[in-house]
Structure 1
Amino acid sequence: MANSIQRRLVEVTVQAVKALYNADILEHQIALQATRKEFEGQITIVTFPVTRFSKSSPEQTGKEIGTYLQQHITEISDFNVIKGFLNIVLSDDYWVSLLNETIVAKDFGVFPANGKKLMVEYSSPNTNKPLHLGHIRNNLLGYSVAEILKAYGYEVIKANLVNDRGIHICKSMLAWQKFGAGETPESTGMKGDHLVGKYYVFFDKEYKKEIETLKAEGQSEDEAKKNAPLMKEAQSMLQKWEAGDEEVITLWKTMNSWVYAGFEKTYKQLGVDFDKYYYESDTYLLGKDIIQEGLDKGVFFKKEDNSVWIDLTDEGLDQKLVLRGDGTSVYITQDLGTAQLKYDEFKMSESIYVVGNEQDYHFKVLFLILKKLGKSWADGLFHLSYGMVDLPSGKMKSREGTVVDADDLMDEMLKTAQERTEELGKTEGLAEDAKAALYNTIGMGALKYFLLKVDPKKRLLFDPSESVDFQGHTGPFIQYTHARIKSVLSKAEFDANSPVSVLTSISPYERDLIQQLGAFPETIEASAQEFSPAQLANYIYEVAKLYNKFYHEESILKAEANDVKNFRLHLSAAAAKVIAKGMGLLGICVPERM
């Protein structure tokens, strides 16, 4: 949904090159960019590519094309040329009509269905521990990408692949069996995922003690790790699980049910949801079927110990294990099975895996194997790789019990939001339940915005205190701006259905805000195409900044004339609508008052 004025500028520039220099230039060779703030204008055309036709300097070429454009596009009121850059100044009439005819329309920023189906898989927790800070970034990123893609016209399936089997699960189960004394979430008052996580940590501590004992008896580090009784028991438990041992399966189902109940509470607080759950306990056998298919096709090969491998050295990678010699699955086995199951069920054209960048190699291998197996849908697979999250205190290490727990972090955010809000005296006249809802909105908004405003590929340092700032580049600043606009509209008893006044001139602050609002559809488009909520998050921040400039520089409620007041109220309402919709696509609520 490209901006119509930009389309016309490109089209008429092509005409100008033909008329002025009798030459043909392709539309994609015309480079447009936003005019730099220190120069007059809103859209800049780069003239360097045209000089080979004009045989003139970039400055002279810019003047000639600028004159032609001004003669053929009525919305251009002026232009200037700085070196090889032609800066276009659009008329006040253009900006007024953009607000009146486009931005205030009910379908502004709404894309029609594009007929494509897409799956976004995110969260993918292990059922041996609670969700942590890294999971928070994953969930927020996956949810937001899914919402942005829906807004862009895709049919989106939000999927969660639960890692509910494997040696790590058996570690928690074994430790609870040996040391748990029958503890349950009910008897301890702990969330189920926290209780199971406690025994995962317990296993690790006891396992390390056994390793040290064996080393003291003369075994090497590697020997001690293999021979430690706890690890041998955990491996035996995994084999029993795969063999369908009734006692092991019963324990597994019980402990997983505790974890799922805990996860659901965390997901609800985080504000994310899923359309479809997959469980690795259901899909790992499907993966084994694909391994057999690959052996039959000669894509895989067996080694003497019966383990199955694929040779990817010709692709610059290495040999990769796809099934252990004892017949048990590795991660790639179950991922192959799950990929096939997902496609068979939904026949989507694209599938996005939201997984941290430590798994980059894994997904290169996974996608390559599926292509080698001849899966027609493998070209539609994409790994949305994101950087890790650190706190000022350092990186998280879950097995050592120092994980930054998602529930604890969210509680801290609510507490910080309450303290900051009360310090600023923003809760006067609110009932207690309204205050609690406001603290939740601000705290969760601060957390979500801070994590989503950074490009997914970048590692980030999350500072909970910095994120709850009503003045900085934060969620609460944007939320406060929305509440400010709503307060203005309420005081004016604004009627959204009233016609917008047509002004003959507007201020630079009004023009800048209209220009920013007008870019909303293309920002959704860019964010969807690049799977990047950061683009949308930073766009909304610019809207909020420009609104606050406009608010401080121009009188709204006491405007000099009724038509000016009406225009500014409609502009304010449009800003509130864009902020609310944009933040909603990030999974962030905006309050009516603060």
Structure 2
Amino acid sequence: MNIQNTIETQVKKAVAQVYSINLDTLEFQPTRKDFEGDITLVTFPMLRQIKTNPVQLGQSIGEYLVEHVAEVERFNVVQGFLNIVINDRFFIEEFIKIGNTPNFGKLKPPRDAETIMVEYSSPNTNKPLHLGHIRNNLLGYSVAEILTASGKKVYKTQIINDRGIHICKSMLAWKKYGEGETPEGAGLKGDKLVGNYYVKFDREYKREIAELMVLGKTEDEAKAEAPIIQEAQQMLLKWEAGDPEVMALWEKMNQWVYDGFEKTYKSLGVDFDKNYYESQTYLLGKDVVARGLQKGVFYKKEDGSVWIDLTDEGLDEKIVLRSDGTAVYMTQDIGTAIQRVKDFHINGMVYTVGNEQDYHFKVLFLILKKLGFEWANHLYHLSYGMVDLPTGKMKSREGTVVDADDLIEQMTLTAKQISEELGKLDDYNEGEKAELYRIIGLGALKYYILKVDPRKRILFNPEESVDFQGNTGPFIQYTYARIQSILRKSDFDLTAEYLEAGDYELHEKEKELIKQIQLYPETVQQAAQNHSPALIANYTYELVKGFNSFYQNVTILGTQDEVEKRFRVQLSKVVGDVIKSAFGLLGIQVPERM
């Protein structure tokens, strides 16, 4: 809060006046809950320059502040800590400013705002989205929203991996065993249908490997010689050669998958400004490698392959072009990054990719810097941990993946069961109930995943996430709905101007709540700097805990004092607005009633 800057200036003046010493820095912290105060000056570090005891130092500074800073009401000294009490008028005036600030906590990007691209999702077109993709999508979307709220211009994108041997596996299995099956005919989303054939390919491949091993082949020989894998490899060569029949099959099955993905994205509440497709980007970067070779950034080995030596940077040698002239993933990523800067004139990028790719992105960012791109200093790998279930790991080839659509549906059903047990929805019609279950279920899923630091691995427990108590999405949503109920029952115009400071005396719970609300803009900025939705999630939980403590300790609508009632209702409204804003940054809806 700005009051800290005022106090800091005055403390330096006090020390200069009383002790004739100029201080460069001061250490402040929030006052501990077991002491009276709003902000605490730590005087211990000052004793290196000021030869006195800490209590006497705190006393002299405190007396100076009471005399020279209108907002400072009183103080107390506990050893080397000067606890400063700020008067109610300051907090009421701050609250009035907040109440009259549209989109409090969020900055509107200026015309010359830094422009960032956030990449997330980036699925393969051989299977539906799964639980791992959910964490990726939720993180990427939320970080994009947080960066926007922090005052940056943001573009959201994905690169769809729509080529390669894994895509051909699904295509070949459908061609061999599908008998013309379509998503409409099967009553399945297209991505699920294609995913079934990916699993079918793996089963047939394993069967053929086992048969060849019975005939005396080693496992490696059997894997290489199995007819079905050789057919898939031939199909890939035909795709690369532009064979009309293979291309037509590829386009048809990919479209099935895209249509399926779109439904999942809509259910999950995420979107993109542009899709990039690997089939259109896999040749990018080769010309950049050629130029880098001329500049000496890369070097060529005897077999004609092109490499970069990063051993001086603590990494190793990395291939960027094969001996036959074909690109590797690194080549494509170099070219795609450069293309995106051309397309959107961005200053930096955030890549939302699992932590198994940490090394890849270290190398990519270093190569782009060595190639001389200034924007390469503003690239960030939003590295995240795996998501596990109580039942163990997931394997897509074996069909043991937790499907994203199935999980969303399960979360909605779990929310329904728990809500019905609580029995508070008697006046809802069936449509209202269904929408509420969806909002609660998705809110539980998103919050449970986003409240954890992205770098940490998660054990996801669906039932635990829908608990209406504790650090959960439904607990926060329920508090928001409680606030809306208070507002509906209030008997005055909520659109009226916020009260003037006057002589209103704050209850300690009101003051605590205002202090918590004040932290929201700073939290948004910190979350943007750290690319961490967890900071927003846990801030919101602390705000809700503060509101519930306020709700339990003061009378809101029942008070006979009209000024007190109006202030407390308006305070409740602002808390609700901040909850809704913060949850919006997490991509979570809040219900008006629960």
Q: Quickly name the TM-score band, shorter chain normalised.
A: over 0.9
Cα distance change of structure 1 residues 395 and 19 upon mapping to structure 2, 3 Å threshold: farther
Name the counterpart of 1:39.
35
Name the counterpart of 1:566.
566
Residue 304 of structure 1 deviates from its aligned partner by: 4.4
Cα distance change of structure 1 residues 34 and 325 upon mapping to structure 2, 3 Å threshold: same
Residue 39 of structure 1 deviates from its aligned partner by: 2.2
Name the counterpart of 1:528.
528
Residue 379 of structure 1 deviates from its aligned partner by: 0.9
* 3-state DSSP of counterpart to 1:79: strand
| Equivalent pair of 2:124/2:161 in contact (CA under 8 Å) | yes
2:91 to 92, 95, 108: 95
CA distance in 2, matches of 1:494, 1:355: 50
Amino acid aligned to 1:377 = W
| Equivalent pair of 1:21/1:54 in contact (CA under 8 Å) | yes
Correspondence 1:341 to 2:339:
yes
String of CA shifts for 1:294-331, please: whole Å, max 9, x gaps. Answer: 33333333444443322222222122222334444322
The within-5 A match list for 1:257-268 is: 257-268=255-266
| Equivalent pair of 1:450/1:474 in contact (CA under 8 Å) | yes
Correspondence 1:153 to 2:146:
no
Name the counterpart of 2:6.
8
* 3-state DSSP of counterpart to 2:199: helix
CA distance in 2, matches of 1:262, 1:183: 16
Residue 72 of structure 1 deviates from its aligned partner by: 2.1
Cα distance change of structure 1 residues 427 and 53 upon mapping to structure 2, 3 Å threshold: same
CA distance in 1, matches of 2:7, 2:219: 69
CA distance in 2, matches of 1:232, 1:288: 28
Name the counterpart of 1:370.
368
Name the counterpart of 1:53.
49
* 3-state DSSP of counterpart to 1:399: coil
1:396 to 394, 397, 415: 394
Name the counterpart of 1:453.
451
Name the counterpart of 2:510.
510
Stretch deviating more after TM superposition (517-526 or 241-250): 241-250
Amino acid aligned to 1:530 = N
Name the counterpart of 1:212.
210
CA distance in 1, matches of 2:232, 2:387: 31
Name the counterpart of 1:592.
592
Cα distance change of structure 1 residues 178 and 573 upon mapping to structure 2, 3 Å threshold: same
Amino acid aligned to 1:579 = I
CA distance in 1, matches of 2:164, 2:300: 22
CA distance in 2, matches of 1:341, 1:527: 28
Stretch deviating more after TM superposition (124-133 or 487-496): 487-496
| Equivalent pair of 2:106/2:524 in contact (CA under 8 Å) | no
Q: Provide TM-score, normalisation by structure 2.
A: 0.95
Amino acid aligned to 2:510 = E
* 3-state DSSP of counterpart to 2:284: helix
Name the counterpart of 1:409.
407
CA distance in 2, matches of 1:48, 1:357: 42
Residue 455 of structure 1 deviates from its aligned partner by: 1.0
The within-5 A match list for 1:398-477 is: 398-477=396-475
Name the counterpart of 1:64.
60
* 3-state DSSP of counterpart to 1:498: coil
Name the counterpart of 1:488.
486
1:192 to 176, 190, 193: 190
Amino acid aligned to 1:422 = E
| Equivalent pair of 2:109/2:152 in contact (CA under 8 Å) | yes
Stretch deviating more after TM superposition (461-470 or 286-295): 286-295
* 3-state DSSP of counterpart to 2:397: helix
CA distance in 2, matches of 1:522, 1:126: 38
| Equivalent pair of 1:110/1:151 in contact (CA under 8 Å) | yes
* 3-state DSSP of counterpart to 2:82: strand
Name the counterpart of 2:549.
549
Cα distance change of structure 1 residues 510 and 186 upon mapping to structure 2, 3 Å threshold: same
String of CA shifts for 1:545-594, please: whole Å, max 9, x gaps. Answer: 11111111111111131111111111111111111111111111111111
CA distance in 2, matches of 1:568, 1:590: 21
Residue 65 of structure 1 deviates from its aligned partner by: 2.6
Amino acid aligned to 2:142 = S
* 3-state DSSP of counterpart to 2:350: strand
| Equivalent pair of 2:99/2:498 in contact (CA under 8 Å) | no
Q: Which runs of 5+ in 2 are unaligned?
A: none
String of CA shifts for 1:460-505, please: whole Å, max 9, x gaps. Answer: 1111101111111111111111111111111114422324344431
| Equivalent pair of 1:104/1:574 in contact (CA under 8 Å) | no
Q: Would you identify which runs of 4 or more consecutive aligned residues in structure 1 move more than 6 Å?
A: none
CA distance in 2, matches of 1:212, 1:181: 26
Residue 62 of structure 1 deviates from its aligned partner by: 2.8
Stretch deviating more after TM superposition (468-477 or 54-63): 54-63
Residue 189 of structure 1 deviates from its aligned partner by: 0.9
Name the counterpart of 2:274.
276
Amino acid aligned to 1:38 = D
CA distance in 1, matches of 2:276, 2:454: 24
| Equivalent pair of 1:103/1:518 in contact (CA under 8 Å) | no
Cα distance change of structure 1 residues 327 and 23 upon mapping to structure 2, 3 Å threshold: same
The within-5 A match list for 1:81-92 is: 81-92=77-88
CA distance in 1, matches of 2:17, 2:239: 77
CA distance in 2, matches of 1:238, 1:309: 26
CA distance in 2, matches of 1:297, 1:247: 43
CA distance in 1, matches of 2:574, 2:89: 18
Residue 411 of structure 1 deviates from its aligned partner by: 0.3
Q: Give me the CA root mean square deviation.
A: 1.8
| Equivalent pair of 2:537/2:583 in contact (CA under 8 Å) | yes
How many residue pairs match? The answer is: 590
Cα distance change of structure 1 residues 17 and 236 upon mapping to structure 2, 3 Å threshold: farther
CA distance in 1, matches of 2:492, 2:584: 23
Q: Which runs of 5+ in 1 are unaligned?
A: none
Name the counterpart of 2:579.
579
